[in-house]
Amino acid sequence: MILDDYQNRVDQLFTQIKQTQRENIIKAGKMIADTIDEGGNIYLSGICHSIEMDLFNRGGGPAFYRTFHYKLDVQSDARPRDRSDVDTNMEGLGAYILKASTIKPGDVLFVGSVSGRTASVVDLAWEAKKMGIKVIAMSSMSYATSVDAVHSSGKKLYEFVDLTLDNCAPSAEAMLDIDGIEAKFAAASGIASSYILWSVTAVVLEEMQKRGKTPLLLKSANYPGGKDYNNTEVYPHYQKYGW
């Protein structure tokens, strides 16, 4: 069954992550713990179609993760026209976004691009590094090493960020061949990235406890007492201490 093939492939994916990414997962966790010790913030930007939201405001998750999302709303309705001669390169927008945000030098910013070359993501990470922000990237090294850079620097994420976590997704993302269907089935990066992010968080918690800090974890808001606990204990603690 395709079901069995898929679940077996996911097992292989997780095994590959455990065998190849343990060192970098521990490095990422320690980097976050160091940043928290220094009074910095930890920001999660868009990772694999917003998989970072699996850690934000979730039962069992910490309060020290902050989202880093932005939106540019342009309303310009007109008749269809050919814009192929217009330069739509948006490099430099990342600098404006960062300056308009609360992020500061020394903070940690997670970014994600499976290919490692997504123009807007590379631009944001590039500008963040120039500002002195620590950048951790989530990419597929198999994918990123098989494509060319599109940023004017000639760089892909793994070539300039502080640390790259390989989600071990295959090139072009999908994992399974299915008879009779041309394209492969089942994206790897989402489930892999969530697994890695929770693994990194496990390291952070252990590191913080070693350093005499015991972070409060959120309870499910829909479980009796959960919402009150979060509002009276967890969020005030974060506002006071930053973790």
DSSP notation for 148-205? ---STT---GGGTSSEEEE--PPTTSEEE--TT-SS-EEESHHHHHHHHHHHHHHHHH
Is pLDDT at 49 greater than 90 in this prediction? Answer: no
Q: In a 10 Å sphere around its CB, with 0-12 CB exposed, 13-18 middle and 19+ buried, how is residue 82 labelled?
A: exposed
The pTM for the full model equals 0.93
Confidence of residue 184 (pLDDT cuts 50, 70, 90): very high
Give residue 177's pLDDT.
94
The pLDDT tens digits for 131-157 are 999 999 999 999 999 999 999 999 999
Is pLDDT at 89 greater than 80 in this prediction? Answer: no
H or E element: which one contains 136? strand 134-139
